[in-house]
Structure 1
């Protein structure tokens, strides 16, 4: 009987291969249907030619790149350990699935525009299924890669100590050591005020963390509230993986608006949406992930959304523009501007 780890490996590999191959086949079939409408509809030669080319592309990429890379990563554990900061599987999905899918999505509308009676052919909105399939497949591969290190059975063991802030532990340790010192030398206790004055500057910078640690969160030990307060990292992976790409999903959805895909605005929307997806290649704990999120998504989306609102109206939500602006400004301010003397003065809120 097959072990649970082997079944998990086979299921994950089949799901990843399906997410790698199906979006390209669906988008290419849509392109073949659009191209067939420009020709003799009774003759299906062009349609089957494009479909066969898409099947040949998926088969060749799978046999020449996907399968050898998977076998190499599975057999060579030393090679896997030396790969730091990026994920080869996600890079293959972005380059060989997402890029051609986005390209042929643009080609579908361009082919339909070349038809003489294009006004009757082009719908009011583009179908959402192909693009949603591409992004959902990419996100599912990302989730599978994150779940590989977790067991799918059994409850996750909770560790209460990992939720205690390090500053609180340091404060407890400092107070304990000071108490032991006073016990060893009871004749000369050190005044509390003098200790507060002699604190080094580095210690005063930790005061916000100490004050923040004073806010106590509720803890439920029994009943329905305990059941509702359970948290599992495996379930949160699904939640945050979709929330992370909600901005890109909204931007791609805007490309289906008739004012966008019937004009030249279709190109920058798809181009910058694809650029924002490049950061999915990085590992979740990569230190460059936050800065690349600003450079590849929020900052370009500010100009794209602002231009769309000025040229075509509020076809893209103003909330999305506010999110991009606030995230970019807060990142620049707290990471760079606070280093200057004008913004470096520390203020402790009384509340």
Structure 2
């Protein structure tokens, strides 16, 4: 019988390899079709030449880079422990898959522009959504798989078991402290100061924080509300992975607008969208991810959206611009401005 661990590993690796190879071949095929239409010939020599080059490119990268890196990561556990700030599979996908796909997408629009100028065809009103959805969807799939590797797919998460062990240890520590306090009081009865005992101040140790954390995780004891309030890290990974890239997805969808790809705004939209994708290669647990999201996505998107709205109108939502501004201002204010003397005042929270 094949073990479940081996099956999970094979499924993960197949999905990651498809996400690594499929976008380049599909987007290159669209470029080949657009280039073939501009030639107005019945032969498909140029079409099959571009498709074969893309397949050879993917096969070469798989043999030279993808497979060796995967083997090293699975065999050399010491190497994995040293790589703490970034994830090699996602970095490979961003550099060798996403970058060529963006280049092919820009080349398709340039070919259609040249064809429209020569009066052989006209530009469409919108570009197809398949390249954007395929490229970003592949990156999200690889991101989810890399996050799910340390979690089992069956059974409860290990974190809940650690919480129960932690609470039992706290209860044992509390019983020991209750047994020690009466003995200390009996030994100190003979002291003169014992005649007027002072009340003991209340401390935070009576309500340990880990217990309240567990209560917050499961606030309902029974009924439908308890079933709805279940929280599992594995399900949250899928939710957070798609939500994190909603801003980049919206920005790339704007590039399909005719007013954008017919003008020079196509290039800054693709350039800054690609820069925002670089943060997916960072390890999610590190605090560097928050600052990278601001400096690589929200802060550059402010200027791109302001330029698009000023020149082409509200083709990009104003709510997206408001989100970028608020995220950037809140990051700088709470992380840097509050350290200054003007903002560093004690404030009572209600």
TM-score (norm 2): 0.86
| Aligned match of 1:98 | 98
Residue-by-residue CA offset, 1:35-92 (whole Å, 9 max, x unaligned)? 1111133121111111111011011011111011111111111111111111111100
How many positions carry a matched residue from both structures?
327
Q: Which runs of 5+ in 2 are unaligned?
A: 165-169
| Aligned match of 1:65 | 65
Matched, 1:133 2:129: no
Q: CA deviation at 1:29?
A: 0.3
CA–CA separation in structure 2 for the residues paired with 1:247 and 1:277: 11
Q: CA deviation at 1:119?
A: 8.9
Matched, 1:309 2:309: yes
Q: CA deviation at 1:155?
A: 2.7
Residue-by-residue CA offset, 1:205-262 (whole Å, 9 max, x unaligned)? xxxxx9xx89x85722222221111111111100000001111111111111111011
CA–CA separation in structure 2 for the residues paired with 1:158 and 1:17: 30
TM-score (norm 1): 0.85
Matched, 1:145 2:146: yes
Change (3 A) 1:329 1:189: farther
8 Å CA contact 2:33, 2:47 repeated in 1: yes
What secondary structure sits across from 1:10 in the alignment? helix
Matches within 5 A, 1:143-222: 143-156=144-157, 159=160, 180=181, 183=185, 187=194, 189-190=197-198, 219-222=219-222
CA–CA separation in structure 2 for the residues paired with 1:138 and 1:339: 37
Change (3 A) 1:39 1:298: same
Q: CA deviation at 1:308?
A: 0.5
8 Å CA contact 1:112, 1:118 repeated in 2: no
Q: Which runs of 5+ in 1 are unaligned?
A: 164-168, 204-209
What secondary structure sits across from 1:341 in the alignment? coil
8 Å CA contact 2:151, 2:157 repeated in 1: no
Q: CA deviation at 1:180?
A: 4.5
| Aligned match of 1:166 | none
Matched, 1:121 2:108: no
What secondary structure sits across from 1:159 in the alignment? helix
| Aligned match of 2:167 | none
Matches within 5 A, 1:45-84: 45-84=45-84
CA–CA separation in structure 2 for the residues paired with 1:118 and 1:266: 22
CA–CA separation in structure 2 for the residues paired with 1:269 and 1:335: 29
Q: CA deviation at 1:285?
A: 1.0
CA–CA separation in structure 1 for the residues paired with 2:119 and 2:308: 23
Between structure 1 and structure 2, the one with the greater Rg is 2
Matched, 1:10 2:10: yes
Matches within 5 A, 1:299-338: 299-338=299-338
- Report the RMSD for the aligned CA atoms in angstroms: 2.9
CA–CA separation in structure 2 for the residues paired with 1:118 and 1:273: 32
8 Å CA contact 2:38, 2:120 repeated in 1: no
Q: CA deviation at 1:158?
A: 6.0
